[in-house]
């Protein structure tokens, strides 16, 4: 069973499950989900809490000892376990052993990072899905961020005019921690409602934030203006051009392999599966392949190579210029006038 953070209050009205797995790369939503479970557990008599990190230094026997012990002051307890980016065989086996011991007086709150497709096919992930609900926590994308902001404002007794909401989404995209803090500050001031654009611009300092993985989807969709905005913000945040070259090389290689396979008469879905393309990204990949012929993909590849050469000789400005040009090149099938 999959639950999203906004569904937790309704879910908890029916009581607690014995185990929850909260995973993803959004720190605010992960922390708030944990706090929601802890608060619900306290109201049901879970007064004792133990926390463990499943790193190399973990003694799993300590977890089992805690799960089987009874305190003089509480007979119901919470065990929180944070999983690392990769789980070795020993940890996978011990985790499944722990899950098999779930009972009504023990609540397991297990947290983890964002997972790829291969990890979601692992034995330990399947055991977690069988033991209780999963709660994925991800940063809302540009389409869903305004709705998230509307809900957040409503929680604090506020609302915003459409243009004010649009500006707030633009000013804080990718940075939920910052916008949550700003909304709390606005609530304390008891401002007139609904919030207007001019009022927000006077009261709030923009603080948007992106990560390198957010760059490629707008490119696939042909949203070049947005992609260039993300690229410039990544540079301001200190992201290395070399890192972007590495990520873009992998994505362009996938596009070229898909294009070659399609030209050879293969099925897109079979090709995408063999190349481990996430199902959620496959429509974007198909749209890009329909828009970009192989000569254009090869030209983009040569521009990326030029950026990579600039990185190699420490010419940072030149590398970013090529990356910017590469982003513009995703717009349509027309050849670029600027070539390496």
Could you read off the pLDDT of 245-287 as tens digits, one per residue?
999 999 999 999 999 999 999 999 899 989 988 888 899 999 9
- Would the pTM count as exceeding 0.95? no
- The predicted pLDDT at position 194 comes to 96
Instruction: Give the CATH class of 145-203.
Output: mainly alpha
Q: Are 152 and 180 in contact (CB under 8 A)?
A: yes
Instruction: Give the CATH class of 5-137.
Output: alpha beta
- The predicted pLDDT at position 109 comes to 96
- The predicted pLDDT at position 208 comes to 76
Domain boundaries, the chain: 5-137, 145-203, 240-329
- The predicted pLDDT at position 73 comes to 53
- Which stretches in the chain have pLDDT values below 50? 72
């Amino acid at each position: 069973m999959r639950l999203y953070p906004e569904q937790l209050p309704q879910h908890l009205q029916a009581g607690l499950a014995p185990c929850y797995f909260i995973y993803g790369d959004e720190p605010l939503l992960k922390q708030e989900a944990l706090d929601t479970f802890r608060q619900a557990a306290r109201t049901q008599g879970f007064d004792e809490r133990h926390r463990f990190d499943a790193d190399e230094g973990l003694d799993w026997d300590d977890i089992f000892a805690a799960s089987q012990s009874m305190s003089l002051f509480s007979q119901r307890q919470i065990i929180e376990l944070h999983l690392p980016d990769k789980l070795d065989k020993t940890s996978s086996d011990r985790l499944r052993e722990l899950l098999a011991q779930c009972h009504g007086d023990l609540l397991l709150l297990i947290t983890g990072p964002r997972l790829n497709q291969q990890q979601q096919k692992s034995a330990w992930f399947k055991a977690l899905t069988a033991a209780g609900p999963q709660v994925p926590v991800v940063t809302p994308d540009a389409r869903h961020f305004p709705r998230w902001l509307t809900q957040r404002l409503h929680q604090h007794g506020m609302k915003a005019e459409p243009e004010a909401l649009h500006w707030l989404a633009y000013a804080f995209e990718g940075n939920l921690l910052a916008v949550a803090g700003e909304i709390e500050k606005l609530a304390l001031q008891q401002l007139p409602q609904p919030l207007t654009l001019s009022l927000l611009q006077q009261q709030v300092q923009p603080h948007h934030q992106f990560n390198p993985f957010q760059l490629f989807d707008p490119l696939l969709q042909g949203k070049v203006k947005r992609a260039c905005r993300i690229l410039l913000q990544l540079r301001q945040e200190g992201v290395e051009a070399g890192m972007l070259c590495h990520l873009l090389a992998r994505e362009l290689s996938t596009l070229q392999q898909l294009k070659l396979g399609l030209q050879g008469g293969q099925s897109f879905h079979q090709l995408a599966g063999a190349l481990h393309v996430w199902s959620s990204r496959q429509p974007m990949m198909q749209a890009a392949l329909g828009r970009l012929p192989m000569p254009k993909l090869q030209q983009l590849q040569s521009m990326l190579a030029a950026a990579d050469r600039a990185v190699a000789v420490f010419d940072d400005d030149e590398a970013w210029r090529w990356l910017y040009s590469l982003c513009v090149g995703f717009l349509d099938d027309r050849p670029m006038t600027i070539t390496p």
